Structure 1
Amino acid sequence: MTLAAPQRTAGPKLVLATAFLGIFLLNLDSMAMTVALPRIGREFGGSTAALQWIVDAYLLMFAALLLSAGALSDRVGASRAFGAGTAVFTFASVACGLAPGLAELIGARLLQGAAAAVMLPSSLALVRQAFPDAADRARAIALWTVGGALAIACGPVVGGVLTGTLGWRAIFLINLPVGVVTLFVLARTPRSPRLVRPLDPLGQVTAVVALAALTFGVIHGADPVMLGVAAVAAFAFVLVEARVAAPMVPLGLFRSRTVTVSVVIGFVVNAAFYGLVFVLSLYFHDVLGLSAMAAGLVFLPMTAVIAAANLVSARVAARFGPRVPIAVGPVVCAAALVGLLWVDETTARPVIAALLVPIGFGLGLVVPSLTAVLMGEVAADRAGMAAGVLNSFRQTGGALAVAVFGVVGLRAGLGVAVVLLVGATAAALLLPRRFTTD
């Protein structure tokens, strides 16, 4: 195995700007599109199931391809993978905006999800490679997460404004100038090194089948057949990775306590957050009678504070070590969830919004430092693979939580989330006190 040398060296800040634009693009599109679903349904006359597939098609491809895309990023070079993913995502966005019917829109969303799966790990790998110093890398990853947090915060508002003024198609077409700017900036950044190694086709196939079947099974109410397929494919994936000479995901990676604990905490935090958002969305609509826009405004303070907490996380980690924000964040979230147990239909909307703010702050504390710890544990040339593993676990946690919390309801879901978050804090104590240095 050899590592091809990069073609030139250059500005890490420019690399960070490119990655920032990419993660902003992905999250803005996802959040803005959700508020446009009723308008799309009226225009195309689609059923509720068809509208669900506009969301699910993206999630299915995104979750299924994350592991493979992370390994691909290392093999072809993060900059090449990110550029290709951005170009395809931009093209697919235009196809969504021009779609003449639901079938074409769902097909374009499938392509968007596949491109997003390539963009996410490769954008994080770009940051990992551009900042070899552990402290600088932690700050850069915090800024990278800010891009996603800002998009999550303003996505529903942007989506509502665009849908109300220019129509729902503008939500997708606005990605064209953003994508072009991202590619323009990327062209001025250095080429990433490539990890020259054999392909792992069996590993790729079994991983895609396992993740696709799991996501599909969860989306469709814990379908036993698809969950069974996912279990068999996951078992086959482990067997393949244990025996091939150049595995896509070396199982030895999980001998590292830091890696294992990091992906488990990532799973738990996403499960708690997305499960909460799902059951609260139903509660706001079915019990409180809020419109989609009104519900988005209640969530806005929580999502907005995530970006600020991302920056605080980097500063706290630099001074006290990454274990502190990773351990404190879940406790803050858990305490806020306990407060939500007493919310009912008589609770004022501003009070609910205020109770959600600590949840956003706690989440924002965890993710940047957790990501930086994991990125510091792997070599720069395997950053794409590590990013794919982390985000695959996070995506799976969110998907499973939506299914489980939707069944058990609001208060039971809150109780489950509290237990998970307390466990995450305990697990965080197993992480290193300081960042790993190169």
Structure 2
Amino acid sequence: MTTTATRDAPATARRTLLIASLGFFLITLDILIVNVALTRIGRKFDSSTSGLQWVIDGYTLLFAALLLFAGNLSDRIGAKKAFGWGILGFVLASVGCAVAPSLSALIAARLVQGAGAAVMLPASMALIREAFPEPRERARALGVWAVGGAVAGAVGPVLGGALTTLDWRLVFAINLPVGVVMLMLLASVAPSPVHPTPFDWAGQVAAVVTLVGLVFGLIEGGSLGFGSPAVIGSFVVGAAALATFLLVQARVSHPMMPLPLFRSSGMRISLAVGFAFMVGNFGTVFVLSLFLQQHLGLSPLLAGLVFLPSAACSVVGNVVSGTLANRFGARVPVVFGLLAMVSGLIWQIVTAPLGDPWLVIVGSVLTGAGGSVAMPPVSSVVLASVPADRAGTASAVFNTFRQVGGAVAIAVFGVLVADRAHFVIGLQISFALAGTVILAAAVASVFLRTSLSEETGGLPA
């Protein structure tokens, strides 16, 4: 006999998927919409390239540094509650960005935004894991979830350009109505199960110091010089903190990044792909935004329109990705998508000296569409590698590697293009580095399992 709860289950799952997708939309929108506004922000506060890098990497830094903590938090208090707290923090920080009186205040608010995004992202993936326990349904759901990011990619640059034309502060204020709608929808979702575990405070502190040391050294090395005592000291502190972090994770009883996760080959490959994807996606969008406005002289709106075809193709790629993965396994769409990204980057390297926005569009379409096909199957592999009660932790580890890839790429590429007289050469070197990293990930992806069936090779159930 069919019960009311059974009949309502599909509707509840769809509602949960909608809310999780909106969360991914909001997080992605904030990255892309701000990229287009960077030139205007720089003029307002008379900022150097390194200052603009901190506007992006301030967000990404806390995002990456707190994801592991946030994954543990999601498992501990329940994905729904963690997601709600993340939305609230993100929205309040967005208001702080919108009213920031100085570049320092803006960067500080961006740090808080990154913390809110860190709590939201693993919780959104854990919500999907709860709503779609069957692997094939989950693969399709993750494709829809990824569409949230793709739609943000489609509207973000154009919306950012239009809002920046009026006032760059509006690119942050736009988060307020979206966040309010999400909180209203979240109220209708059933409470998530909780799995209380102690917090790994020592590991969290070591993770933050590691990333701050690395990113500070990369960004400030471009302006202070890599031989500067401050930069050298930053790298030394970061390296010492990384060694401490790994030691802590190996010895504490409840690590926030359980090292047994890496026993699964699928998990290891997925982490490499996630890192490479962000290097080739957000790292190059950062550089292209500066190229289109500062080098080619396009307005913020026209620069946003250049990214529109790529984002539109990304929506399609995310929609079909789940179907391709269910038919051919994860390996085919991941390898194919990554190779498409490489071809797009090669195109950008060859055509950059011509300074034609139409040629930029072609390369961006290849890169965006390829990434959108590759990423949803990788997310499925991550969730299939752990038992259900570790979904939040696994997704946090995965997204930490992704965000570290983005933060490192922006830091390195920003240094390479800081010299306006040699901007194109720096852009070409940036794309060559990104292509090399993605090609290495594509080779590793050949060894992915062909099936999306459950495997809990990372942690014991």
1:409 is paired with a residue whose SS is helix
**C-alpha distance in 2 between matches for 1:404 and 1:105:** 22
Amino acid at match of 2:306: V
Amino acid at match of 1:206: A
Q: Could you tell me which residue of structure 2 aligns to residue 135 of structure 1?
A: 136
1:188 is paired with a residue whose SS is coil
Q: Could you tell me which residue of structure 1 aligns to residue 443 of structure 2?
A: 426
**C-alpha distance in 1 between matches for 2:101 and 2:31:** 20
Q: Could you tell me which residue of structure 2 aligns to residue 300 of structure 1?
A: 308
1:318 is paired with a residue whose SS is helix
Amino acid at match of 1:201: W
After superposition, residues 359-378 of structure 1 pair within 5 angstroms as 359-378=367-386
- Once the two structures are TM-superposed, the CA of residue 63 in structure 1 deviates from its matched residue by 2.0
More displaced 10-residue stretch of structure 1: 268-277 or 370-379: 268-277
**C-alpha distance in 1 between matches for 2:348 and 2:199:** 49
More displaced 10-residue stretch of structure 1: 354-363 or 416-425: 416-425
Verify the 8 A CA contact 1:219 1:399 in the aligned structure 2.
Answer: no
Verify the 8 A CA contact 1:60 1:216 in the aligned structure 2.
Answer: no
Alpha-carbon deviations, 1:144-171, whole Å to 9, x = none?
1111111122112112222334x33333
**C-alpha distance in 1 between matches for 2:278 and 2:39:** 26
More displaced 10-residue stretch of structure 1: 428-437 or 336-345: 336-345
Q: Could you tell me which residue of structure 1 aligns to residue 328 of structure 2?
A: 320
Q: Do structure 1's residue 349 and structure 2's residue 365 form an aligned pair?
A: no
After superposition, residues 169-188 of structure 1 pair within 5 angstroms as 169-188=169-188
Q: Do structure 1's residue 242 and structure 2's residue 250 form an aligned pair?
A: yes
Q: Do structure 1's residue 266 and structure 2's residue 274 form an aligned pair?
A: yes
- Once the two structures are TM-superposed, the CA of residue 184 in structure 1 deviates from its matched residue by 1.0
- Once the two structures are TM-superposed, the CA of residue 86 in structure 1 deviates from its matched residue by 0.4
After superposition, residues 46-125 of structure 1 pair within 5 angstroms as 46-48=46-48, 51-125=52-126
1:417 is paired with a residue whose SS is helix
How large is the RMSD of aligned CA atoms in angstroms? 2.4
CA 1:349–1:246: 2 relative to 1, 3 Å = closer
Alpha-carbon deviations, 1:123-182, whole Å to 9, x = none?
1111112110101101111111111111122112112222334x3333322222211110
**C-alpha distance in 1 between matches for 2:13 and 2:302:** 40
**C-alpha distance in 2 between matches for 1:419 and 1:57:** 26
| Matched residues, number | 429
- Once the two structures are TM-superposed, the CA of residue 220 in structure 1 deviates from its matched residue by 2.4
CA 1:108–1:131: 2 relative to 1, 3 Å = same
2:307 is paired with a residue whose SS is helix
1:11 is paired with a residue whose SS is helix
Verify the 8 A CA contact 2:352 2:428 in the aligned structure 1.
Answer: no
- Once the two structures are TM-superposed, the CA of residue 322 in structure 1 deviates from its matched residue by 1.2
Verify the 8 A CA contact 1:77 1:192 in the aligned structure 2.
Answer: yes
Alpha-carbon deviations, 1:348-396, whole Å to 9, x = none?
4323312321111111111111111111111121111111111111111
Amino acid at match of 1:437: E
TM-score by length of 1: 0.90
More displaced 10-residue stretch of structure 1: 214-223 or 173-182: 214-223
Q: Could you tell me which residue of structure 1 aligns to residue 203 of structure 2?
A: 203
Q: Could you tell me which residue of structure 2 aligns to residue 435 of structure 1?
A: 452
- Once the two structures are TM-superposed, the CA of residue 103 in structure 1 deviates from its matched residue by 4.3
After superposition, residues 255-294 of structure 1 pair within 5 angstroms as 255-285=263-293, 287-294=295-302
1:341 is paired with a residue whose SS is helix
Verify the 8 A CA contact 1:214 1:227 in the aligned structure 2.
Answer: yes
**C-alpha distance in 2 between matches for 1:39 and 1:422:** 35
CA 1:305–1:183: 2 relative to 1, 3 Å = same
TM-score by length of 2: 0.86
CA 1:122–1:435: 2 relative to 1, 3 Å = same
Amino acid at match of 2:12: G
The structure 1 residue matched to 2:348, chosen from 340, 343, 349, is: 340
The percent of aligned pairs where both chains have the same amino acid is 46
**C-alpha distance in 2 between matches for 1:86 and 1:199:** 21
**C-alpha distance in 2 between matches for 1:378 and 1:149:** 26
**C-alpha distance in 1 between matches for 2:240 and 2:134:** 41
Verify the 8 A CA contact 1:64 1:215 in the aligned structure 2.
Answer: no
More displaced 10-residue stretch of structure 1: 266-275 or 19-28: 266-275
Verify the 8 A CA contact 1:63 1:212 in the aligned structure 2.
Answer: no
Amino acid at match of 1:369: P
CA 1:210–1:301: 2 relative to 1, 3 Å = same
Q: Could you tell me which residue of structure 2 aligns to residue 146 of structure 1?
A: 147
2:351 is paired with a residue whose SS is coil
**C-alpha distance in 1 between matches for 2:38 and 2:338:** 32
- Once the two structures are TM-superposed, the CA of residue 413 in structure 1 deviates from its matched residue by 3.3
- Once the two structures are TM-superposed, the CA of residue 50 in structure 1 deviates from its matched residue by 5.0
Verify the 8 A CA contact 1:218 1:399 in the aligned structure 2.
Answer: no
